[in-house]
Amino acid sequence: MPFVIAIDGPAASGKGTIARALAARFGFHHLDTGLLYRATGAKGGDPISAAATLEIGDLARPDLRSAEAGQAASQIAAIPEVRQALLDFQRRFAAQEPGAVLDGRDIGTVICPDAPVKLYVVASDQVRAERRAAELGADPVEMLAQLQERDRRDSERATAPLKPADDAVLIDTSTLDIDQAIAVAVAEVERVRSGALS
């Protein structure tokens, strides 16, 4: 049975970096589920039809990492029919052997509620704004406002709001460097895997 690692958290908290590192370390498949919503928005037209016909190749578009794509994704993600259309895509991905790491906003609560490892990655608003601004070459003040607006929209939506699963392990990366954050996550995965094998 595939081993699933569910990682949730707000934008620029470090969840994607941690997810990629875990996938590489354990030889698992990795899916940044935010790309599904970004790609759905980038396809244009009716978002429900775009979500229903999304293919893995659509996630390779070079424009999906822009701030504009992120804002559009957050708006599209609030549409229940879009989320439903992408649900099967994500669950099929998670079912791949030997395991999968999925990062997003509702992985541990909705997509893979039975995942043996659930991490909820956070960082302070200021730290996240500085990280994303450096990544995109943007103004940190503007980025802070954008992140806070997106957090509000993602947390308040009626369908699959951004929140930690009840049994998620919280990792606050505000004062951790990348290696430290990854080490905390690896330790949790190894703890659970060793318990499952014993």
Res 198 pLDDT > 60? no
CATH number (domain holding residue 59) = 3.40.50.300
Identify the pLDDT of residue 77: 85
Identify the pLDDT of residue 75: 87
Whether residue 34 lies inside any domain: the answer is yes
Identify the pLDDT of residue 182: 98
Q: Is 17 annotated as a binding residue?
A: yes
Whether residue 195 lies inside any domain: the answer is no
Whether residue 197 lies inside any domain: the answer is no
Whether residue 193 lies inside any domain: the answer is no
Identify the pLDDT of residue 111: 96
Residue closest to 164 by CA, chosen among 125, 120, 115, 123: 120
Flag the least confident range among 30-34, 55-59, 89-93, 155-159.
155-159
Whether residue 178 lies inside any domain: the answer is yes
Q: Is 41 annotated as a binding residue?
A: no
**Domain total in the chain:** 1
Q: Is 10 annotated as a binding residue?
A: yes
Which own/partner pairs from 56-61 qualify as long-range (CB within 8 Å, at least 24 positions apart)?
A: 59/32, 59/35
Whether residue 84 lies inside any domain: the answer is yes
Residue closest to 93 by CA, chosen among 83, 103, 105, 84: 103
Res 154 pLDDT > 90? no
Tokens 């659970």, residue located: 192
Tell me the per-residue pLDDT of 166-191, one tens digit each, with 9 for 90 and over: 999 999 999 999 999 999 999 999 99
Whether residue 78 lies inside any domain: the answer is yes
From start to end of 89-168, where are the E strands?
99-104, 117-122
Whether residue 194 lies inside any domain: the answer is no
pTM of the model: 0.90
Q: Is 11 annotated as a binding residue?
A: yes
Range of the domain at 112: 3-186
Residues 6+ apart with CB under 8 A from 5: 19, 22, 28, 99, 100, 101, 102, 115, 116, 117, 118, 119, 189
Distance CA 164, CA 107 (A): 9
Q: Is 195 annotated as a binding residue?
A: no
